[in-house]
């Protein structure tokens, strides 16, 4: 299956999402790093097939993570988890394709279906 980098400032969310992914047969690589250089290093070291990230994080928000992911590999899919429901923010985020937005609280089935679709 796929190697998926899981970034979120919440340890609970990282562990929950990693559990969902591993139960589905994926390799989840949890990352609590929030610095630009740290995230770049994780992308280079782990070579993920997909990045799953929170949006509102200290140090580096989900939009910055998406930009870093696409600088690393232009076609690297990004799934962004957010509690924000601001249409202007979502419009700005969706300019960075391939990217998908899921709203918290995310359900296991919805998350796994999105990951499958994004991995294409």
Instruction: For the chain, 120 residues long, give each residue's pLDDT as a single digit of tens.
Output: 899 999 999 999 999 999 999 999 999 999 987 788 889 999 999 999 999 999 988 888 888 999 999 999 999 999 999 988 888 888 887 787 888 999 988 999 999 999 999 998
Is residue 29 within a helix (H) or strand (E), and if so which, with residue range?
Answer: strand 27-31
Q: Which two tokens stand for residue 33?
A: 């790093």
Rounded Cα gap, residues 86 and 76, in angstroms = 24
Q: Which two tokens stand for residue 54?
A: 């929170």
pTM: 0.92
- For residue 3, list its beta bridge partners: 27
Task: Domain ranges for the chain, please list them.
Answer: 3-119
CATH fold of 3-119, please? Rossmann fold (3.40.50)
**Which residue, among 72, 71, 67, 93, has the nearest Cα to 82 in the 3D structure?**
93
């Amino acid at each position: 299956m796929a190697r998926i980098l899981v970034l979120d400032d919440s340890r609970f969310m990282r562990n929950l999402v990693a559990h969902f992914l591993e139960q589905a047969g994926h390799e989840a690589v949890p990352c609590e790093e929030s610095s630009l250089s740290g995230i770049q290093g994780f992308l280079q070291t782990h070579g993920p097939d997909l990045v799953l990230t929170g949006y509102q994080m200290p140090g580096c928000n989900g939009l910055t993570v998406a930009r870093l992911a696409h600088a690393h590999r232009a076609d690297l899919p990004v799934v962004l988890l957010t509690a924000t429901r601001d249409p202007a923010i979502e419009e700005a985020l969706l300019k960075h394709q391939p990217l998908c937005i899921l709203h918290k609280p995310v359900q296991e089935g919805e998350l796994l279906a999105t990951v499958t679709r994004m991995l294409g």
